[in-house]
Structure 1
Amino acid sequence: MLVSIVVPAYNAETTIVACLEALLRQSMPPQDLEIIVVNDGSTDGTMALIDQFPVRSLVQSNQGPAAARNLGAAAAQGEFLLFTDADCVPEPGWTAAMIAPFRDSQVVAVKGAYRTRQAALVARFAQIEFEERFAMLASLASIDMVDTYAAAYRREIFLQLHGFDTRFPVANNEDTELSYRMAARGMKMVFAPQAIVYHLRHPDSLVRYARLKFSRGYWRMIVYKQYPGKMLRDSYTPQSLKLQIFLVYAFLLLCPWLLLWPVAMIPVILFTLLGFALSVVPFTKAALRRDLPVGLCAPVLLAVRAGVLGAGAILGVLRTKL
């Protein structure tokens, strides 16, 4: 059984070495693995570093990770396609753990898990966000979201579906779109929590975090336009997050009316704030148990998350086409 691992790389000279070293340390026999790195038009020293490793390398002009992954998949020979990113470091057992669920012939895609060793508070907060979602996924027999930092597909099915939608120009929700497309066809996807990659670049400042979440909100709304049913519920998005976005924007819209009707508006605004406070209690309690400083900051960071995700989503609604 041959397994093909595809890594898209764009200006990844600071991370690609750690990624490829980890892939070459996988516990599966080397003869069962094919590692393909697609240089997506890098302008730094990425290509020179790739050339130092015994991997297949492909080159394309900069077209984005969706196109790069599709190029690697088309060139792959394995029965199974695995994807990770150039800023991820898989654990030695990652490949084997990703492949194991395919023993069930009904499984067509597998999602692994993220971790990080970053010390920055915002990065630690981002990791606890992932852990909240992983806990949701772990309780489900089938999921509808496979992220490309740790993704596996039956290659035949992936090619039948024409891979990722290359109209997504950046690494943002192209994997969501493919997941929803597969879910719409009744295809079974599962979560493998023991298939772990370490991410080297969780957002480590509030500004980077806000920019990322704004972009996430924008591109997710583009996907929701194609799959509106997923806006109500999917296996990966906490319902509390949607409530928090609503409450943050309700608060912002209500505040100006204080000038006209202060007596009437004050109770409504206080009720909105109370609703938000109650909505963040479960996440905050979990964060406090895992990381006290993050837990203390969690309500504020959750408010920022709701605000910027909502702003991105609003812009996504206004976009007329992909």
Structure 2
Amino acid sequence: MSDRPFCSVIIPAFNEEQDIEASLSSLANQSYPRDRYEIILVDNGSTDRTSEIASAYADLILSKPNGNVGTVRNFGIAYASGEVIICTDADCVVPPNWIETGVSLLEQNPKHAFGGGLRPRKNAKWVEKYWILNEAGDTTQQRSLAGSSIFMWKVDVVRLGAFNETVTSGEDSDLYERALANGLQVIISPELSVAHLGCPETPRDFVTRQIWHSENYIPDLRNSLKDKVFWLTLIFLGCLASALFSIFTANYFFTALLIAFSQVPAIILSLKRITRSAWHMSSLDEITKILLIDNFYLVGRSIGLLKGIRKKLGQP
């Protein structure tokens, strides 16, 4: 097995003591030969026991206390010895054959990059279950790369300039777009899906996560204008803002009409997710929960968009 490509698994981490052991343990117990891959953890300034716990599993622990997640990933890549760069997150648990599967896919498919989706953890709460829509683990919703599961040849990572260091999130989607623009084919495989222990379990946490993901809408407006979700968020926000204004004018019929129309973006997102995941709905309750999740999603994205506007205008 010594002829297998040597791999470097890059993991950014910040205060992950709750999940880091489960994540690293799953990486340390792979079907792929342990002497053919290294685990590199990049600590982004943790104040808990993240690095201490990681020391029992990681081959190399680096410290990069400042910088966005793209900067942290790139810092790890700079120290990587592998021919293959593998990215995941410190709160993800990977299947036992994860590295073996990803490397085999790369070997069999030149000029490709591969990624995986998300599968819910055991006993997932309803927010996670109806967001991921992948209980069996045999489908993926997203079509672009996600930082939780990326497999690429290092020469391709270097050629693309690695991850965008200027954005607070979305560095994985940016890499995906540049990969396609530079002739790489990108395939998202259900076999490479991982369980994300950090998935929000409550509506509040879910909205907070979406706010963070959408704060780059305004700073990265050129790319945002190409994003269908950005336009759906604008429609949703515009309808709710107009509905609020119409309340003050006592035009309640128009208010109700605007609120109803605000559901069009949510319905579009729900239908897209249901179709991509091949989800088989069995009750009205499931439909309601899926639609509710997409409303939470648009609320969070709208708040993030507004925060981006405030920041652009120089307001705290």
TM-score using structure 2 length: 0.81
Distance 1:187 1:14, change over 3 A: same
Q: 1:40-77: CA deviations, max 9, x gaps?
A: 22211112112222522222334343222112111111
The answer to whether the 8 Å contact 1:284/1:296 transfers is no
Aligned residues: CA RMSD: 3.4
Contact 1:255 1:269 in 2 (8 A): no
- 116, 127, 140: which one pairs with 1:122? 127
1:26 is aligned, of 16, 25, 30, to: 30
Q: CA deviation at 1:244?
A: 6.7
Counterparts in 2 of 1:258 and 1:175: CA distance versus 1, 3 Å: same
Letter aligned with residue 104 of structure 1: N
CA contact (8 A) 1:9 1:37 kept: yes
Contact map agreement 1:146 1:176 (CA 8 A) in 2: yes
1:13 aligned residue: 17
Which amino acid counterpart does residue 214 of structure 1 have in structure 2? I
Alignment coverage as a number of residue pairs = 303
> Identity across aligned pairs (percent)?
21
Relative to 1, partners in 2 of residues 1:29 and 1:274: Cα closer, same or farther, differing over 3 Å?
Answer: closer
Contact 1:210–1:308 at 8 Å: present in 2 too?
yes
SS of 1:289's partner is coil
Displacement of 1:198 in angstroms is 1.0
Higher helix share: 1
Q: Any conservation in 2 of the 1:173–1:220 contact (CA below 8 Å)?
A: no
Describe the SS at the equivalent of 2:32: coil
Per the TM alignment, residue 317 of structure 1 is displaced from its structure 2 partner at its CA by 4.8
Among 265, 279, 291, the alignment partner of 2:254 is 265
Pairing 1:315–2:307 present? yes
Structure 1 unaligned segments of length 5 or more: list them. 138-142
Closer/same/farther in 2, CA of residues 155 and 220 from structure 1, 3 Å limit: farther
SS in 2 for 1:52: coil
Distance 2:117 2:52 in 1: 29
> Which residue of structure 1 aligns with residue 98 of structure 2?
94
Partners of 2:92 and 2:104 in 1: CA distance:
21
Mapping 1:28-107, distance limit 5 Å: 28-53=32-57, 55-102=59-106, 103-107=108-112
Q: Aligned pair 1:178/2:182, yes or no?
A: no
Structure 1 contact 74–159 (Cα < 8 Å) conserved? no
C-alpha displacement at 1:86, in angstroms?
0.6
Where in structure 2 are the equivalents of 1:210-249 lying within 5 Å?
A: 210-223=207-220, 225-227=221-223, 230-232=226-228, 242-243=231-232, 246-247=235-236, 249=238
In structure 2, what is the Cα distance between the partners aligned to 1:116 and 1:22?
16
* CA–CA distance in structure 2, aligned partners of residues 205 and 301 of structure 1: 10
| Deviation at residue 90 of structure 1 after TM alignment | 0.4
1:194 alignment partner, SS class: helix
Query: Does the 8 A contact of 1:287 with 1:298 survive in 2?
Result: no
